[in-house]
């Protein structure tokens, strides 16, 4: 089997020759160690500042060349997503309304939002947002969706990666997106709207559903192997709304989105952080084939998930992101051995981090994960 055949079989819960490996995303510090030079790929602060300065083509070239170089060198990886080659501004992009730099760590845009440099997460985080409570009405979400094709150059980086890697790796690519739970930016605002303005939430979710269904034909790109959707609706304690509310507000839109996507691809992989065990039956009912972001410390231990749902859904994850960041190489190896030996033989399993190869991952831990996986990927199948 090649990587595409191996992943397709695993997602379909069919026999594989070896357990596949996949990354939801890899942040820039690990990418730079592998390729040996600086990159804009997943370097959120450097990329944002460069785009504000009008250096769009420089950023896109890095996305293209550095992503391909990384995955050529990490050739054990069977499954990748669009996260290292995201949608970019169109060709000829001239930045407007560039935030004003206040000091070494703060910027402010024309709407009054203040961004702060976070050294911990390597992001520009909005710390003050006077727009967060802007009012919305049901009527604004009842409008028709304009069926306007996007500028194709926004897919320049992703299309290049598909062209270079799409015949040898399974690329879980774009769709018209998924916003069926959180619509208004922050969880705080979203949950308040559920409580105070349920009809507004329903209208907003339905507009997002209609927009995504309309845009799938443009955003699902030629050459990608499957479709990847993502939206977080849980915390480590459980879903942020009750299963009853999720079924009423979100499930119909999720089912509609998956059905729309499956007009183009038969496999849909979903990323959703947190302990969403009470929602998994709905994910399956909606048609999701594979679930990624399996946080072990949030009760999402792969062998347990397989025991309950392994005949209906495949699972991608198993290596705790926390161990990759804070653990030792031997702890990472033990984690890989545990999940590979318990989940691998059951099938419907793709090894990967519980979330991502996140910023701050120790390079020795990353390499230990790859090495231990390589030793076991065929053995654990007997």
Tens of pLDDT, residue by residue over 296-342, are 888 999 999 999 999 999 999 999 999 999 999 999 999 999 999 99
H or E segment to which residue 189 belongs: helix 187-196
pLDDT tens digits for range 91-144:
999 999 999 999 999 999 999 999 999 999 999 999 999 998 899 999 999 999
Residue 382 has pLDDT above 80, yes or no: no
The predicted model gives 72-79 an average pLDDT of 98
> 247-260: string of b/e by CB count within 10 Å (b at 16+)?
bebbbbbbbbbbeb
Helices 363-376, 329-343: inter-axial angle, 10-degree rounding: 30
Quick: pLDDT tens for 354-379. 999 999 999 999 999 999 999 999 99
Which of 31-40, 127-136, 270-279 is predicted with the least confidence, judged by mean pLDDT? Answer: 127-136
What the block records as the tokens of 382 is: 């007997």
Instruction: Find the mean pLDDT for residues 266-286.
Output: 97
167-226: pLDDT as tens digits: 999 999 999 999 999 888 788 899 999 999 999 999 999 999 999 999 999 999 999 999
pLDDT at 187: 86
Which has the closest alpha carbon to 87: 181, 19, 152, 162? 152
Q: At what angle are helices 44-52 and 56-73 packed, to 10 degrees?
A: 150
Specify the pTM: 0.96
| Burial class of residue 121, CB neighbours in 10 A (0-12, 13-18, 19+) | middle
Nearby residues of 1 by Cβ (< 8 Å), 6 or more positions away: 9, 16, 17, 18
* From 1-10, 155-164, 179-188, 214-223, the region with the lowest mean pLDDT: 179-188
Q: Give the phi and the psi of residue 228 in degrees, each rounded to 5.
A: -125, 125
Q: Count the alpha carbons within 13 Å of 82 in the hemisphere toward its beta carbon.
A: 28
**Domains recognised in the chain with CATH numbers:** 3-93+132-381 (3.20.20.210)
């Amino acid at each position: 089997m090649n990587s595409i055949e191996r992943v397709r079989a695993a997602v379909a819960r069919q026999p594989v020759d070896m357990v596949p490996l996949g990354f939801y995303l890899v942040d820039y510090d690990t990418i730079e160690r592998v390729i040996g030079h600086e990159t804009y790929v997943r370097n959120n602060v450097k990329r944002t500042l460069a785009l504000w300065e009008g250096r769009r083509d420089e950023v896109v070239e890095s996305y293209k060349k550095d992503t391909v170089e990384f995955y050529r060198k990490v050739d054990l990886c069977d499954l990748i997503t669009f996260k290292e080659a995201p949608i970019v501004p169109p060709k000829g992009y001239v930045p407007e309304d560039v935030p004003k730099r206040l000091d070494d760590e703060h910027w402010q845009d024309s709407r009054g939002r203040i961004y702060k440099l976070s050294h911990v997460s390597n992001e520009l985080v909005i710390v003050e947002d006077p727009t967060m409570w802007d009012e919305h009405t049901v009527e604004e979400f009842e409008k028709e969706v304009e069926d306007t094709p996007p500028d194709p150059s926004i897919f320049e980086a992703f299309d290049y990666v598909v062209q270079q890697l799409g015949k040898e790796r399974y690329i879980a690519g774009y769709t018209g997106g998924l916003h069926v739970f959180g619509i208004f930016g922050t969880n705080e605002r979203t949950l308040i709207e559920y409580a105070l303005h349920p009809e507004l939430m329903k209208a907003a979710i339905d507009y997002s559903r209609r927009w995504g269904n309309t845009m799938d034909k443009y955003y699902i790109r030629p050459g990608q192997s499957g479709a990847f959707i993502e939206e977080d609706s849980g915390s480590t304690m459980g879903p942020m709304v009750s299963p009853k509310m999720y079924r009423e507000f979100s499930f119909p839109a999720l089912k509609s989105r998956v059905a729309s996507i499956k007009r183009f691809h038969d496999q849909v992989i979903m990323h959703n952080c947190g302990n969403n065990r009470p929602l998994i039956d709905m994910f399956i009912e909606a048609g999701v084939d594979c679930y990624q972001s399996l946080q072990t410390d949030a009760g999402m231990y792969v062998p347990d998930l397989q025991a309950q749902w392994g005949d209906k859904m495949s699972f991608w994850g198993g290596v705790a992101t926390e161990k990759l960041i804070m653990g030792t190489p031997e702890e990472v190896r033990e984690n890989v051995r545990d999940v590979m030996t318990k989940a691998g033989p059951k099938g419907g399993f793709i090894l990967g981090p519980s979330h991502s190869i996140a910023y701050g991952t120790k390079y020795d831990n990353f390499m230990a994960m790859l090495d231990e996986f390589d030793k076991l990927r065929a053995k654990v199948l007997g």
